[in-house]
A and B are shown apart, each in its own frame.
Chain A
Amino acid sequence: MLSGGIKMEIFKNNKKDRDYTIIIGCGRLGTGLADSLSDRGGNVLVIDNDKDAFRKLPPSYGGLTLIGDATDIDVLHEAQIKNANAVVCVTNNDNTNIMIAQIAKELFKIEHVIARLYDPERECVYREFGIATICPAVLSANEIRKLLGNAKKEDEVE
């Protein structure tokens, strides 16, 4: 069910400097990321099991989409995961993200695997696998602290 027009045979020619990112989960973060990576000339494929989720992609999106359950190893094969140099797991379920990230890292030896996790408490599960994680709550807290710090400085100046 690959769509998007461009056949992925492009990888055969330039395996070394390929740039192929698979994004799993077509939510707000997934769509935004897919669009900007694709804009910069990268090959991008977004996987989601809900075909309506792809409506969130802007009409200008030039990458590929695949409908399917990315926890299914066959779907990952169909997505040609072996050719990917990065896999980004941004579904709304932490456990799904961790499992797909581990499959990508351990079964397919993907170099860059990134997972978005809402709850940072399960760290011991993925730490040793070399999976990079993004935790919105931690990032937001840091940003808010910075903003508060700036506000205080401004107060002091006044």
Chain B
Amino acid sequence: MKKRVLLIGSFNKARSLATSLIKKGYLVTAINNNYQDCLILAEIDSLTVINGDGTKPFILDEANAQNADIAIALSQRDDDNLIICELCKKKFNVKKTVAIINDPKKTEFFHKMGVDSVVCSTSAITGIIEQQAFMDEIAISIPIGEGHISIAEVPITQTSPAVGKKLWEINLPKEVIVGCILRHEHNMIPRGDTRILAGDILVLISSDKQETVAIKELTGR
């Protein structure tokens, strides 16, 4: 059976999420307060659109919230998103609720109130900005474990201080390991005595706090 997803609030986020979820085979319903936005959303194939305030029980009822498997609250306001998730959980028995929040200090509170998954847009965006602005050296960095751990690809160039050194000779912080070295066509799992060469791409697994230090140690930047 196809899973049913309910998207509440936000135009841009709802539009791109809806498009991607429908492609993956979900049944998606979007609730939006703005009539003009609803008209544009309705152009997406097989998306059900409801015009109304998603913090009101009768609107959620109209959107068949009781049949939804996942409810995602995307609105601008933290309080609205909290109420949406609480209504979905308590009144409509939705299995999984997801809320976007602006204030990172409220993450724990939202969990405590029974919201299953809390995504803090502010910390996510500042994280990405920091990466883009201060870590040009990293090709890709993926946050996992609620953003506390990240996996990063670090390219090593001729000028990097780590070139020619064995892994155990490099003074890496405690909470960082080099999980893999991508060398030309080969992928290798390094040991302490593996020597790093220019052109290597190191795959780092690290705590978010130590990542920058480790990258500086390896690349000099």
Residues on A close to B: CB < 8 A? 71-74, 93-96, 98-100, 102-103, 106-107, 119, 121-122, 124-125
Smallest Cβ-Cβ distance to A72: which chain B residue: B103
Quick one: which of B56, B78, B80 contacts A119, CB cutoff 8 A?
B56
Given A73-B106, A103-B109, A125 and B83 touching (CB < 8 A)? Answer: yes
User: Would you call A99 and B82 a contact (CB within 8 A)?
Assistant: yes
Apart from A98-B82, A99-B83, what are 8 other A-B pairs with CB-CB below 8 Å? A95-B55, A95-B77, A99-B78, A106-B109, A106-B112, A107-B109, A107-B112, A124-B91
B161 interfacial by beta-carbon distance below 8 Å:
no
Query: Given A71-B78, A95-B77, A102-B113, are A124 and B83 neighbors across the interface (CB < 8 Å)?
Result: no
B90 at interface by CB-CB < 8 Å: yes
| Residues A98 and B103 in contact, CB atoms below 8 Å apart | no
Interface secondary structure of A, over-half rule:
helix
Q: A71, A74, A121: which contacts B79 (Cβ < 8 A)?
A: A71
Q: Does B143 contact A (CB under 8 A)?
A: no
CA distance A96 to B81 in the complex (A): 10
> Which residues on B sit within 8 Å (CB–CB) of A95?
55, 77, 79-80, 82-83
- In the complex, the 6 A-B pairs of residues with the closest C-beta atoms, listed nearest first: A99-B79, A95-B79, A125-B86, A95-B83, A124-B90, A96-B79
Chain A residues whose C-beta falls within 8 Å of the C-beta of B58 in the assembled complex: 121
In the complex, residue of chain A having the shortest beta-carbon distance to the beta carbon of B108: A107
A98–B56 alpha-carbon span in the complex (Å) = 13
Within 8 A of A (CB), among B79-96: 79-80, 82-83, 86-87, 90-91
A73 touches B105 (CB 8 A): yes
Question: Do A121 and B57 have beta carbons less than 8 Å apart?
Answer: yes
